């Protein structure tokens, strides 16, 4: 019987320069300039990380359970990444902010299309 290759023990190092997890009995370490946040999408068995050297994350990297990069995404046009979250209707989501409000809202939920590597605006974050 093959061991479960799901991601467990996801963590970020204290210095915010490493993402660590276990998968299929192997320890995975990803070295980064600065990790803002990392989260597991249990349905896809993917690790999603917001990275960037500034105060605001500049990229989203999606990793396969073995540590290989699946996709790298920039923020949507006229938006910047804020944080990852779980949304009750769309699952793993990223909240992005804008300096120019849309329908009086600055912060919006975006769903993640893991297959295409695309983000889609869903609704305001409040």
Is pTM, for the whole model, over 0.75? yes
Residue ranges of domains in the chain: 7-124
**Per-residue confidence in pLDDT tens, the chain, 126 aa:** 444 568 999 999 999 999 999 999 999 999 999 999 999 999 999 999 999 998 999 999 999 999 999 999 999 999 999 999 999 999 999 999 999 999 999 999 999 999 999 999 999 998
Cβ distance 64 to 46 under 8 Å? Answer: yes
Cβ distance 72 to 64 under 8 Å? Answer: no
Cβ distance 95 to 112 under 8 Å? Answer: no
Place of tokens 């699952």: 91
Question: Rounded to whole angstroms, what are the CA distances from 119 to 34, 37, 66, 72, 94?
Answer: 22, 17, 23, 11, 9
């Amino acid at each position: 019987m093959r061991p479960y290759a799901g991601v467990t023990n996801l963590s970020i190092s204290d210095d915010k320069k490493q993402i660590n997890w276990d998968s299929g009995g192997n320890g995975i370490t990803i070295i980064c300039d600065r990790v803002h946040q990392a989260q597991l999408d249990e349905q896809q068995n993917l690790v999603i990380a917001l990275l960037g050297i500034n105060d605001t994350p500049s990229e989203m990297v999606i990793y396969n359970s073995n540590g290989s990069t699946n996709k790298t995404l920039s923020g949507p046009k006229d938006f910047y990444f804020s944080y990852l979250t779980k949304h009750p209707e769309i699952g793993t989501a990223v909240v992005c902010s804008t300096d120019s409000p849309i329908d009086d809202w600055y912060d919006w939920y975006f769903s993640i299309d893991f297959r295409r590597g695309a983000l889609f605006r869903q609704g305001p974050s409040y």
